[in-house]
A and B are shown apart, each in its own frame.
Chain A
Amino acid sequence: MNNITEEMIDKYADTLLIGLTDEERKMIQDEFETIEKNMDFINQIPNIKDIEPLSYPFEMYIDDLRDDSVSGEEIQIDVLLRNCDRVEGREVEVPKVVA
């Protein structure tokens, strides 16, 4: 039984600002079916709720806070804009959205 519908797929894709073809939509549904099946292995594990989630491979404590000052090299704006397709002066150009 597939819990994810085409409407849901479209909704999530839209939130991600991604357009899908019919073929891609079908592929997602198929892959989701596999994920769901595999997720059952996880959800069957007893007392799983008692376990604390692990977000990083091992504990990493940062005990050396740097000074609250600018670090790293200064980067020139023209360098930052080098990969931008549309530039006006020192700014990124986008269509006007406010009347």
Chain B
Amino acid sequence: MNKSISELHEMLVAGSVTSDELVKESLEICKKVQEETNSFVTIIEDAKGSEVTDNLLSGIPYGIKDNLSTKDILTTASSNTLKDYVPFYDATCVKKLKEAGCVGVVKTALDEFGMGGTGTTCHTGAVKNPWDKSRIAGGSSAGSTASVAAGCYPFALGTDTGDSIRKPAGYCGVVGYKPTYGMISRYGLLPYASSLDTVGVLTRNVKDAAIVVDAMKGIDENDMTSWDSSNIHLVENLESSCENKKLFYIKELVDLDNYSNPTDEFKAHIDNFMETVKLCKKLNIKVDAVSVDKDLLNALPAVYDVISYAEATTNMSNLTGISFGPRGEGDNPTDMIKDHRTKGFSSLIKRRFVIGSYVLQSENQEKYFLNAKRVRRMIVNTMNELFEKYDGMIMPVSVGPAKYLDTSKNVKNDETRVLEEALQIANHGGYPSITIPNGFINNLPVGVNITCAIREDEKLLQIANTLESNMNYKNQIAGGEK
């Protein structure tokens, strides 16, 4: 299971291993990793190998985030409101992978409905980072990321509304790729915030991410925001030269002089980022520090909170426990629904719903919801102007390595708030964005993120592939080979 998709495919075609054997091995590792990291909601014990064909993905086991619908397999979104829910259809992305011959072996744990960045609000308990069990894996795609890092299989599906693929990828030392919004259908995804939600993938190298997204992308009549990407060929164009490409980073967020009291870990993280910038220059990729309006940057976390909470409040009004989900107690439907929702949702979700409801009230919409959407346009306009001059943005992922599960051990610093949330920019504009590992701090992995203009996924992966090929963190597995 420490192999790439292409290597496993070669072994399958040569007959040195069968798909059944790969699935069995993957399930065995998953059981061990479950004890160590609590990554899974469901282990699909009766998963069987599939026919090996010319398709690179045929016969390969993988993990599915538990907010993606899987026919006849429990799908909970890590919420007690759906603790027994079994869909009667596959999400389009899952269906496409099934058609390619992939074998889903687990459903992975997430922050409830994808709301959260820690992997600690899953109804099955917190997910632990396989590099250091006292640390978070990050979220919301916590189980998918931790299990890929732990070597359960070559890839797992994730979803990304604010940074839910790309931030945990940084914390766990793997590749996390969020394609352009709508490139992969959202049909069958239990939604968080529909204007931001994107399906993507966690892998241990860039080429594997290209292979999986090539298989999942495409227009879908069931998702009106999906679009025709038949002219995009990620694997075919992966090796193109990146010489003379131009990247930028946001000076206000990366320059340590803007922080009054940075921790040693944060300083080391920025130093490590600047080493990657130096590497870019050595590879003839130009990198400029550019300034972005501080007011816009400071507004970023609130814009995300207001828009995502408002959309979540609306999306989850169908969770009543009447036609699906555990039935609440009460003498009438209203009391039953209230009981179901009160018992089913975690405190974090309730908080977000109440705030979402507040900003949507007619007397508050102008000040909160509409102004947030106005600033969203300003952020996107600013980025689009930069993407006219530059091929992409390069930024550190988060502030230092993964935080402690025990929150009292974490240093709280309001000054780093915007850098912590900076990956949300890609969701506001629907931009393709990828995290790749770029080093270690205190024996914990950290990542670097690259973001490009919409529909420039080929270019994004070319840059990521070039950097990955010139660093030493490709295909790494927490705790060594499995």
Which residues of A are in contact with B by a Cβ distance under 8 Å? 4, 8-9, 12-13, 15-21, 23-24, 27-28, 31-32, 35, 38-39, 41-45, 48-49, 51-58, 60, 62, 66, 71-72, 75, 79-86, 92, 94-95, 97
Contacts and interface: CB of A to CB of B under 8 A. Distances in A.
Given A18-B342, A18-B345, A39 B354 contact: no
B355 A18 contact: no
B377 A52 contact: yes
Nearest to B294: A41
Contacts of A32: 355, 358
Interface residues of B, number: 71
B337 interface: yes
Interface in B311-336: 313, 317, 320-327, 330-334, 336
B195 interface: yes
B372 A42 contact: yes
B333 A41 contact: no
B91 interface: no
B377 A94 contact: no
Given A16-B341, A41-B295, A92-B322, A54 B357 contact: no
B375 interface: yes
22 contacts: A12-B361, A16-B353, A17-B320, A17-B341, A18-B345, A18-B353, A19-B339, A23-B347, A24-B350, A32-B355, A35-B306, A39-B371, A45-B375, A45-B378, A48-B374, A51-B375, A60-B227, A80-B88, A80-B323, A82-B88, A83-B86, A97-B333
Given A60-B227, A80-B88, A24 B351 contact: yes
Contact of B351 (A8, A27, A52): A27
Contact of A95 (B303, B332, B371, B374): B332
B163 to A, nearest CB: 15
Nearest to A84: B323
A95 B331 contact: yes
B302 A39 contact: yes
A55 B302 CA distance: 15
Given A60-B225, A94-B322, A16 B313 contact: yes
A72 B302 contact: no
B305 A38 contact: yes
Contacts of A55: 195, 373
A17 B338 contact: yes
A54 B384 CA distance: 14
Contact of B354 (A18, A62, A79, A85): A18
Given A12-B357, A83-B86, A27 B322 contact: no
A17 B332 CA distance: 13
B232 interface: no
A12 B295 CA distance: 30
A82 B86 contact: yes
Nearest to B376: A54
Contact of A18 (B227, B341, B374): B341
Contacts of B361: 12
A67 B222 CA distance: 14
Contact of B375 (A8, A48, A83, A95): A48
Contacts of A41: 295, 298-299, 302
A83 B355 contact: no
A91 to B, nearest CB: 10
